[in-house]
Structure 1
Amino acid sequence: MVQLQGQIVKGKVVRLEEYGAFVEVSTEDGGVVTGLVHVSEVDADFVENIYAYLAEGDEVDVKVLDVKDDGKVDLSIKRADPEWQDEESVNLRSKLDKDFNKRLRRFMHKSQMIQGEARRQRRGRVVS
């Protein structure tokens, strides 16, 4: 099964839970193993209701993400899609978000300093 890691294979949905789908896939030795497609790996969009996307018995293409030492298999339906864009666009967006957040924090800090100075000046006038 470790040899399948990173490959896209056919599988069959055998059980659905709110947190994901259990999918049976064939191993290279002809056996069958059940892996989990977490709800976040079902579709590129946010999946609120997994039952709206999948049903037991559905044939799906899955990408084998990880085979853990304890035998658990992590699968992904969205990453099996040839149109799927990996982390490149996420990293670009992440950098833009960090820059924006940095500027926003700086602005808020200056704004709070100005607000504090205005309050001190008002207090000074009231006391006098």
Structure 2
Amino acid sequence: MDVTKKYRKNQFVKVKVTGIQPYGAFVRTPDNQEGLIHISEVMNDYVHNVSQYLSKGQIVKAKVLSVGPDGKLNLTLKENEYFKNEEKKKDKRSIIEQIKDSEEYGFESLRQKMPQWIQEAKMRMQDK
């Protein structure tokens, strides 16, 4: 069977994470078809580190964005309910919780994050 016909755009598939790279997660379907969830497709929000959301061996439900000529799948998690909920939780976290998630600590990292925090606070005030 031609793999490019087995999987189609907008189809949901369960995939197992086989590897994590700085740019995304490599995955495999139960029938051993390989695919990639690019870092920009984990959630709508900025993702600094794929490992915060996915780990090797994890099974997730992903949506097919496209199927390459070689049959490789390009997938997204943006319509996965679990990751949508994680995104909503992330919006509601305090600055202290966000600092705890940071990989760096100290005054330099605070200085670097301050413009982002100010922007987020302004956006929250506009929403109210």
TM-score, normalization by structure 1: 0.56
- Residue 20 in structure 1 maps to residue 24 in structure 2: yes
Gaps of 5+ in 1: 85-128
Where does 1:49-64 land on structure 2 (aligned, <5 Å)?
49-64=49-64
Residues paired across the two proteins, number = 80
Aligned partner letter, 2:68: K
Aligned partner letter, 1:74: N
Aligned match of 1:121: none
Aligned partner letter, 2:28: E
Distance 1:75 1:45 in 2: 16
Distance 2:23 2:83 in 1: 24
Kept in 2, the 8 Å contact 1:20–1:39? The answer is yes
Aligned partner letter, 1:55: S
Gaps of 5+ in 2: 85-128
Residue deviations 1:13-54 (CA, integer Å, cap 9, x gap):
11000000011113xxxx321100000001121101111111
TM-score, normalization by structure 2: 0.56
Kept in 2, the 8 Å contact 1:22–1:37? The answer is yes
Aligned match of 1:4: 7
Percent of residue pairs bearing the same amino acid type: 40
CA-CA distance at 1:83 after TM superposition? 9.3
Kept in 1, the 8 Å contact 2:15–2:27? The answer is yes
Kept in 1, the 8 Å contact 2:33–2:72? The answer is no
Distance 1:50 1:9 in 2: 20
Larger radius of gyration: 1
CA-CA distance at 1:71 after TM superposition? 2.4
Q: For residues 69 and 60 of structure 1, do their structure 2 counterparts lie closer, same or farther at Cα, with a shift above 3 Å needed?
A: same
Aligned match of 2:45: 45
- Aligned-residue Cα RMSD (Å) equals 2.1
Kept in 2, the 8 Å contact 1:41–1:79? The answer is no
Distance 2:72 2:6 in 1: 14
Kept in 2, the 8 Å contact 1:65–1:74? The answer is yes
Distance 2:36 2:7 in 1: 15
